[in-house]
Structure 1
C-alpha cells in the first residue's frame, strides 16, 4: 500500500509522487519495487493519475486529504485478505525490492518492521506490517481523519531494521534539495 496523497507544500504544490527521479516518477519507482517482490494487489491511496503502470488498484480516503491514518484505513481495506502489507510513502525514489525483502526478513513474529535512520528515528512510511495488527490498530484509533501515524502505530510491536547499504531506501523527497540528492544518487 502506497500513500500518495498530500499537498506537497514544500514543493510548491506540484504532484510530488509524479515528480521524476532518474526519468521515472517517484510513485512508479515505489510501485516497481513492490511488484518486483511479488506484492499483490498493489494499492495506491490517492488520486487516480495518468502514467501509472497497469493493474494498480487506486483507492481514495474519504474525505480526500484526510491524512495518513485515513489513507492507511482505506488501504488496509483493499488488502484485507493478505497476511502482510508494506506501508510506504510515494516519495521514496531509492526504495528497492531488496529493501522490502530486508523488511520482510526483519518482521519475525512482531506486528511490523520498519527502517530506522542513523539517529534512530523510525521511518513510519517505510515498513511492513501484519494486516491483522494494522487493522486492529485502525479500529482502536477512532476517527482517522487528520490522525497521527505515530499514534496509530505506537502500541504495535515493531522490529526496527537498520539499512546496511548505501542509498538508504527510506529517504523521502520533501524539498528541491531532497530531489537533487536523490537524482544524483540514481545517476
Structure 2
C-alpha cells in the first residue's frame, strides 16, 4: 500500500458550534482552513470530502452524510462508501496541519501486520485521536455500526486492533477556537 493506494477521507460536515462560525471557511494563507488541509495532502492520494460543497484548490470527491449533521461517525460511514483504495486516512477538516501526520500514519499502517486494522495519532495519556487515523478500508467498513448517526468514532476504533503513533503536536491541532486558528497561523508564518 504505497502512494496512490491511499485515500484521504476528510470529515467536514460539522456545524462549527464551538467556533461560532464556519471555521473551515476561515482564511488561512491564500486559501481557507479546509483548503489548506486538502492542498497539502499528497497529490497522488484520492481525496473524499464529507460535507457541504465549497471551493477547494484541488479536485475532490464530495459526499454528504444522511442525514447531514449526523456526527463524525456518520460522515466517516458515508465517505467510506466512496473509497476505492485498500487504505484510507480519516482526517478532521478542521485540522489544517494534519497532512504530514496523515502520511506518517499511512506509512505505519503499510508496515504493520495485516491484523492491525488501524494506526491512530497519539494524544497525551496514550489516547488515540479519533479524527486522524489510517485504516484498512475493509476493516473500517466491517467495524462500522448499522446506524452510525451520533455514534462515537472512538468506540469503533476501540473495537479493532490498532496501534498508536506519535505524529507530533501540529498534525493533531484542530481549529475549534479563534485562538487555535491564531496558533495555526503563527505556525505557518514561522
Same fold (TM over 0.5): yes
1:68 Cα deviation from its structure 2 partner: 1.1
State the TM-score, normalizing by the size of structure 2. Answer: 0.87
Partner of 2:142: 136
Aligned to 2:6: none
Distance 2:103 2:53 in 1: 28
SS of equivalent residue, structure 1 residue 2:
strand
Q: Measure how far apart 1:168 and its partner are.
A: 2.1
- Which of 70, 88, 93 is 1:90 aligned to? 93
2:13 counterpart of 1:8? no
CA distance in 2, matches of 1:33, 1:130: 22
TM-score for the superposition, normalised by structure 1: 0.88
Residue of 79, 86, 90 corresponding to 1:75? 79
The question of whether the paired residues in 2 share the 8 Å contact of 1:106 and 1:159 is answered with no
1:67-101 Cα deviation digits (max 9, x unpaired)? 1111111111000x2100010000112223x3222
Residues paired across the two proteins, number: 177
The whole-number CA distance in structure 2 between the counterparts of 1:67 and 1:59 is: 14
- 1:1-187 mapped onto 2 (5 Å cutoff): 1-12=9-20, 14-36=21-43, 38-40=44-46, 42-49=47-54, 51-79=55-83, 81-96=84-99, 98-107=100-109, 108-109=112-113, 110-138=116-144, 141-164=145-168, 168-187=170-189
* Farther off after superposition, 144-153 or 26-35: 26-35
In structure 2, the residue corresponding to 1:186 is in which secondary structure? Answer: helix
> Distance in 2 between the 1:17 and 1:45 partners?
12
Q: Which runs of 5+ in 1 are unaligned?
A: none
User: Which piece of structure 1 moves more, 114-123 or 3-12?
Assistant: 114-123
How far has the Cα of 1:54 moved from its partner? Answer: 4.3
d(CA) in 1 for partners of 2:50, 2:160: 22
Supply the RMSD in Å over aligned alpha carbons. 1.5
Between the aligned partners of 1:9 and 1:121, the Cα distance in structure 2 is 24
Taking the aligned partners of 1:158 and 1:4, their CA distance within structure 2 comes to 24
Shift of 1:132: 0.2
Q: Which residue of 1 aligns with 2:5?
A: none
